Structure formats: C-alpha cells, structure tokens
Copies of this chain bind each other. A is one copy, B any other.
Amino acid sequence: MGIKTYDEYLSRLGNMKRNLYMGGSKCDRTDERLAGQLRVIKETYDRANDPEWDGLATATSHLTGDKINRFTNIHHSVDDLLKKQQMTRLICHRVGGCVMRCMGIDAMNALSVVTYEMDQALGTDTTKNFLNYLRYWQDNDITANCAQTDVKGDRLKRPHEQVDPDLYLRIAESRPDGIVVRGAKIDNTTAPVGDEIIAIPTRFMTDKDNDYAVAFAVPADWDGVKMLVRPANNHKRKYLQAPIAEIGDAESYTVFDDVFVPRERVFLDGKGDPRQTPFAGFLALLFAHYHRHSYTGCKPATSEVLASAAALVAEYNGIAKEDHVREKISHIVGVAELVFAAGQVSAYRAEKSASGTYIPDEVLTNAGRRLAGEEIYNEFKIVADLAGGLCSTMPFEEEFFSKETGELANKYIMRNPNISSENQHKCFRGLENLIVSELAGVMQVAGLHGGGSPQMETITMMARYDLESLKSVAKYLFGIEKELPKYERATVTPRKMLERFQKMYGSSAK
C-alpha cells in the first residue's frame, strides 16, 4: 500500500491551496510552467510501479515491512545505500540530469539519526514524532523539499548578530502545542511540486542562536507558507518529441510568514529547549552528508548523460575516432566512474548509527561530490567542443518543417551520411536543450552548488579527515618519530562530531 502512482500524487497536488507566486500572480501546482518538473517527478513514481525496477526503485519499510518507494526508505544496510545510489543514477539517465526527489529522503534519514541521538542525550522524545511522520511518508509515498539554505544576510555575522533577526529562519514563539516560525529559505528545488516541506538549519548554532535551532515539517500549502517560484523549461516542441525537451526545473524562494507548526511536526526547538541547540549543526551537516551521497548517484549520471551526448554527436559529426575526441569523452567517463566509486565505497564503509540508520563515509563522499562539482563546467565544455557551434545557432524547429524552408533546412543539416537528417536535427535540438538552454544554465549552477560547493566539501572533508594521524607517516619517514603505527585512515565519526559541537558550545547535553 506504500507505493502510489503518479496520478494519485498529481491528484493530491490538485487539491492543494494556491500559495505559489509566479510572474505577479498566484498559480496552481498544475500550471504549465511546472510541467517540466512534474515530468521528472513522474519518473520516480513510474519506476516504483515498474516490475523491472522492483527491489531497486522499491524497498521494504523497516517500520511496517511493507513494500515502499525507495524514495521514502530509511537506509538500514549497506545494500540500501548502494541501491539508493544506483536507483538515483539510473533514473537520472531517464531525465537527463537531476532526479529532483532526493532531498526529501535525505532529510528524513538525517532526522532519523539526529532525533534518536538527541533523545538519547537529552531524554526528549522526538523520535516518536519522527517515526509517526515517517509512517505517513511511507504510506503516502510523499514527495518533499528539504528547505535548508537560509537567506543568511551578512555572511560574516552569525544569525543573532544580523541587522534583521529574520535573515535566518527562526522560532518567533515556542508554545506547548507548537512553534511559530518566521524567515525565508532559498534554492528550494522541487518545493513547488512537493507534498511537504521539511525545514532544517543551514549551519551550526551557538547558544546565542537558540532561536535559530529549528527543524520541522509542514504541508507545502500550509498557512503562512509563500513560495516565490522560479521555473526553467526548455522551448516547447511542435514536431520532434523528446524526453529532454519535456523536463524542467522549478525552484522556490520560500517565505515562512509567521507559520504555526504543531508540536508533533517539530523535530528541533532550541528556543523551547536550549539543550537542543548543538543538534542544529549536527542535523545541518548530516543532511548535507546524505545529500552529497545522493550526488554520488546523480552526478555520475549527469556526467554520463553529457558523455553520451558527446559520443553521439561525435559519431554524427564523423569525428568519433579522433584521438582527442576519445580522450575527452574518456575524461568525462572517468570522472563519472570515480565519483560513483566514491559513493559506493562510502556505502561499503558505512557505519550503523545508534538509531539503526546507516551513515556513509564522509571523507569519500565529499571527495567524490567535490570532484563532480569541480568538473561540471568542464564537462559542458567538452560537449560543446565536440558538437561545434551549431548547437547554439540552430534555427527554430518550424524552419525544418515549413513549406518554404523545410527542404533546404533538412538538406543542409546532413553530416554523417549514415544518419538521417531528422536524427541529425534531433541530435542538435537535443544538444541545444542539454547545453545551451536556460535550463542548462540552471543545471550548471546546480552541478556546482547543489549539496554544497567544492569549497564546502573541502571544509567538511578536512574536518573529518584525521590529518594529525597522516602526519605520522612523514614524521616516521623523516626520522622525527621512531615508529609508524600500522596507519589506518582515521575519520571523525558522526558521534565524535556531535561531541565536538557540545564541547564547543558548552551544551548541557550529557
């Protein structure tokens, strides 16, 4: 019963209140400017209902034993992590890039760990709320956004130091029955077509930032939630249908205009209980971590889509056997392989947290995600290089079908004599969508920043990496220390990370 169809999901969206703003007016979730993103989400329902994908796009709930959509699963084994990664990769192939639905489940996994750890440390009982909420998720095959990035105001100041106290999402009021929150989150992919929004902190919080230590979930059309929506779609096609032309993105600049959240949907409340504040940073980092692990699935797929397009156009252009062409394609393929391998080994080395949820290796996950981020623009460059200028100078589709110019347009687009004019046309039209459209621009930025920029991954990676241990190698080799212990790479586990936060901020958490 846990797996829903796309139509069931769509009918839920149809019933939601209008709180999306696009171009100066409110609009429905079925607005055609959101069709591109819905097309992507559709894949995540269709695959879970596709017998061929059984066990990959589906999982077994550890709560109920029911078969569920893997996008609602809490990872309880290495295999769960491996399959999540592989499912992500394969669906991304079908939508030409971002799967759009990873962040909800990444947030849920992070919450499963943090609520449990917090309960253990403080004697709170947030886990109960979380599990009820998870049950709702799994039963209804929920699609959600995770709203993490605060607008942040002056980046050199902490939340409580800002001129305007609302520049980080904050708890305006904490009451027994719930909290009232105010602020805004940006870069909220999928939010316009999500059932739910899960809000979590964007950074760690000091004990002066208690009001900002907040996490909760609300329906996406909840009172006071206002979404300023930014869609990006490809040019509509009239003649040549193609999946690449149908996909799109939609982002939300989400305002929480004094939103009341009932207590059972609150997962972190530093204002009501300041002991909870250190868990804000823990949750922020753990979501980012699960999200980056998802990127070790989607980014290789993005690279593969680009490599695939590069290989195809090289064939169509008749240059597939040139040395430099093979070298360039091979470069993209190599990046994809390495990033995917990083995610796989992260899964193989995953640690089981106290809650039972598995946490992948952080150093490798970050090393993998970082490489993908560093290479994304270069990969677009390679495709453009092999395609030639035509991908950016293609006349409109109509010119290829009109009476007056159609014949000429098709005559001259011929390249590889083994490829029909129509396929040549499809290839370059597809390339236009893939690498020179507005959506392509969005995908470049997302490829760089999504889940955190390379800069952030370097910081995270080095925070986990035990550089002091590594130095013992040079000390031994240089004769500064006599012995070299059988060096094993040591990393900072999530539990140690939490302990650090607690020390740093003098939390009274035991």
* Most chain B CB within a 10 A radius of its CB, from A152, A163, A166, A405: A405
CA distance A338 to B186 in the complex (A): 32
Q: Among the listed B26, B430, B462, which residue makes an inter-chain contact with A477, where contact means beta carbons less than 8 Å apart?
A: B430
Q: Which residues of B contact A450 (CB under 8 A)?
A: 389
Contact A458 B412 (CB under 8 A): no
Give per-residue flags for A55-83: 1 if the beta carbon is below 8 A from chain B beta carbons, else 0: 00000000000000000000000000000
Q: Is A265 an interface residue (CB 8 A)?
A: no
* Shortest distance between the CB of A301 and any CB in chain B (Å): 9
Known: A21-B402, A324-B323, A405-B255. A442 touches B392 (CB 8 A): yes
In A415-435, the 8 Å CB interface with B consists of 415-417, 423, 426-427, 429-431, 434-435
Q: Is A120 an interface residue (CB 8 A)?
A: no
Q: Among the listed B252, B308, B476, which residue makes an inter-chain contact with A473, where contact means beta carbons less than 8 Å apart?
A: B308
Q: How many residues of A contact B (CB 8 A)?
A: 152
Q: Is A90 an interface residue (CB 8 A)?
A: yes
Contact B477 A244 (CB under 8 A): yes
Q: Among the listed B23, B305, B465, which residue makes an inter-chain contact with A398, where contact means beta carbons less than 8 Å apart?
A: B23
Stretch of A100-108, A111-119, A209-217, A366-374 at the chain-chain interface: A366-374
Known: A251-B393, A441-B437. A163 touches B417 (CB 8 A): yes
Contact B323 A322 (CB under 8 A): yes
The A contact surface, by secondary structure, is: helix
CA distance A396 to B228 in the complex (A): 8
Q: Which residues of B contact A381 (CB under 8 A)?
A: 376-377, 444, 448
Stretch of A4-12, A131-139, A313-321 at the chain-chain interface: A313-321
Contact A427 B318 (CB under 8 A): no
Q: Is A253 an interface residue (CB 8 A)?
A: yes
Contact B164 A23 (CB under 8 A): no
* Most chain B CB within a 10 A radius of its CB, from A305, A370, A416, A478: A478
Contact B380 A364 (CB under 8 A): no
Contact B164 A317 (CB under 8 A): no
Q: Which residues of B contact A364 (CB under 8 A)?
A: 337-338, 341
Q: Which residues of B contact A338 (CB under 8 A)?
A: 338, 341-342, 364, 367-368, 371
